[in-house]
Amino acid sequence: MELKFPIYLDNNATTPMDPRVLDAMLPYFVEQFGNAASRNHSFGWVAEEAVDYAREQVAKLINCDPKEVIFTSGATEANNLAIKGVFEMYASKGNHIITCTTEHKAVLDTCKHVEKMGGSVTYLQVQPDGLIDLAELEKAITPQTILITIMYGNNEIGVVQPIKEIAAIAKKHGALFFTDGTQAVGKIPVDVMADGIDLMSFSGHKMYGPKGVGVLYVRRKNPRVKVTAQMDGGGHERGMRSGTLNVPGIVGIGKACEICRLEMDAEAVRLSIMRDRLEAALTQIDESYVNGNVQHRLPHVANISFKYVEGEGLLMGFNKQIALSSGSACTSASLEPSYVLKSLGLGDDLAHSSLRFGLGRFTTDMEIDYTIKAITETVLKLREMSPLWEMFKEGIDMDKIEWAHH
Ligand SMILES: *Cc1c(COP(=O)(O)O)cnc(C)c1O
Same-domain status, 316 and 371: yes
Q: How confident is the model at residue 330 (pLDDT cuts 50, 70, 90)?
A: very low
Same-domain status, 248 and 115: yes
pTM of the model: 0.95
Q: Which residues of 206-225 are buried (b: 16+ CB within 10 A; e: fewer)?
A: bbbbbbbbbbbbbbeeeeeb
CA 182 to ligand 1 center in whole angstroms: 6
Same-domain status, 334 and 371: yes
In-domain check, residue 336 = yes
Question: Which residue from 158, 185, 182, 195 is spatially nearest to 272, judged by alpha carbons?
Answer: 158
Burial class of residue 91 in the structure, from the number of CB atoms within 10 Å of its CB (0-12 exposed, 13-18 middle, 19+ buried): middle
Q: How confident is the model at residue 329 (pLDDT cuts 50, 70, 90)?
A: low
Closest C-alpha residue for ligand 1 atom 9: 76
Does residue 149 have its Cβ closer than 6 Å to ligand 1?
no
CATH of the domain at 294: 3.90.1150.10
Domains identified in the chain, total number: 2
State residue 127's pLDDT score: 98
| d(C-alpha 96, C-alpha 306), whole Å | 40
Given a contact cutoff of 8 angstroms between Cβ atoms, the answer to whether 338 and 156 are in contact is yes
Range of the domain at 317: 7-13+264-390
Average pLDDT, the chain: 95
Same-domain status, 342 and 255: no
Same-domain status, 109 and 156: yes
State residue 397's pLDDT score: 78
Same-domain status, 254 and 269: no
| d(C-alpha 141, C-alpha 174), whole Å | 10
Q: For residue 352, what is the DSSP state?
A: H
Same-domain status, 190 and 145: yes
The mean-pLDDT minimum among 45-49, 188-192, 225-229, 328-332 falls in: 328-332
Which atom of ligand 1 is nearest to 206's Cα?
1
Pocket test for ligand 1, best of 17, 156, 159, 182 (most atoms within 8 A of CB): 182
Structure confidence by residue, pLDDT tens digits, 40-91 = 999 999 999 999 999 999 999 999 999 999 999 999 999 999 999 999 999 9
Q: DSSP alpha helices (H): ranges in 3-156? A: 19-25, 42-62, 75-89, 105-116, 134-140
Does residue 180 have its Cβ closer than 6 Å to ligand 1?
yes
State residue 280's pLDDT score: 98
In-domain check, residue 312 = yes
Same-domain status, 291 and 248: no
State residue 313's pLDDT score: 82
Q: Which residues of 173-192 are buried (b: 16+ CB within 10 A; e: fewer)?
A: eebbbbbbbbbbbbbbbbeb
5 pLDDT above the threshold of 80: yes
Same-domain status, 275 and 235: no
Does residue 80 have its Cβ closer than 6 Å to ligand 1?
no
Does residue 358 have its Cβ closer than 6 Å to ligand 1?
no
Structure confidence by residue, pLDDT tens digits, 203-230 = 999 999 999 999 999 999 999 999 999 9
| Residues annotated as part of the active site | 330
State residue 311's pLDDT score: 79
State residue 169's pLDDT score: 98
349 pLDDT above the threshold of 70: yes
Does residue 102 have its Cβ closer than 6 Å to ligand 1?
no
Given a contact cutoff of 8 angstroms between Cβ atoms, the answer to whether 192 and 60 are in contact is no
Same-domain status, 236 and 104: yes
Q: How confident is the model at residue 334 (pLDDT cuts 50, 70, 90)?
A: low
What is the mean predicted confidence (pLDDT) over 116-133? 98
Given a contact cutoff of 8 angstroms between Cβ atoms, the answer to whether 216 and 225 are in contact is no
